[in-house]
Amino acid sequence: MKYLIVGLGNIGDEYTNTRHNIGFKVLDALIESSSSCFETARYGDVTKIKYKGRTLILLKPSTYMNLSGNAVNYWMQEEKITLSNTLIITDDLALPYGKLRLKGKGSDGGHNGLKHLIQILKTSKYSRLRFGIGNEFSKGKQIDYVLGKWSKEEEKELPELLDLSIKYIQSFVTIGLNRTMNDLNKNKKEE
């Protein structure tokens, strides 16, 4: 079985280690323990890893956030992967920092990457792992916050949260969306 795991983010050094690039960061953490590395391909950096008999195609789109749907659509077609076997990892302002939430459908929530995905895929019924980045910004400073670097306190918690994100991905590809939502959606930030 093949799965497409997409981490949303923006290419370029100025975006490295920003809140908006958490999707890239999760995928980087996922391949850390493997012998795999990303290679530049059409519409993004791509690699393949194996997990419990499944093939995971990991994609970091190079289309910038606002055109993420182009990369996802291309790689779904190229690898012949169904929408039900596709998982999008994205930042989410509506969730407190560190809270993770897996969903099988939903609105774009004002997120331009998700908005473009809905437009290109012609559905909002796709699996997404939402990584809470909080909303600790002053009025009119949303873009600066989203494109800003993690605070020292946030950075201390990131390794644990990246490990939890990997558990979500591994669970998604082995036991599926619904069981993973039931098992993992209640995480420490909710307690």
| Residue 4: predicted pLDDT | 98
Question: pLDDT by residue (tens digit) across 85-102?
Answer: 999 999 999 999 999 999
Q: How far does CA 81 lie from the centroid of its chain? A: 17
Average pLDDT of span 157-171: 96
Give the confidence band of 47 by pLDDT, cuts at 50, 70, 90.
very high
pLDDT of residue 136: 83
Say whether pLDDT at 190 is over 50: no
pLDDT of residue 187: 59
- Would you call 82 helix, strand, or coil by DSSP? coil
Over the chain, what is the mean pLDDT?
Answer: 93
Superfamily of domain 2-190: Peptidyl-tRNA hydrolase (3.40.50.1470)
Per residue in 102-129, pLDDT tens? 999 999 888 989 999 999 999 999 999 9
Per-residue model confidence (pLDDT) at position 169: 97
- pLDDT(23) > 90: yes
List 19, 20, 60, 99, catalytic entry: 20
Place of tokens 């182009």: 70
Active site residue 20: yes
CA distance 29 to 166: 8
Tokens of 73: 């659509």
Cα–Cα distance, 28 to 26 (Å, whole number)? 5
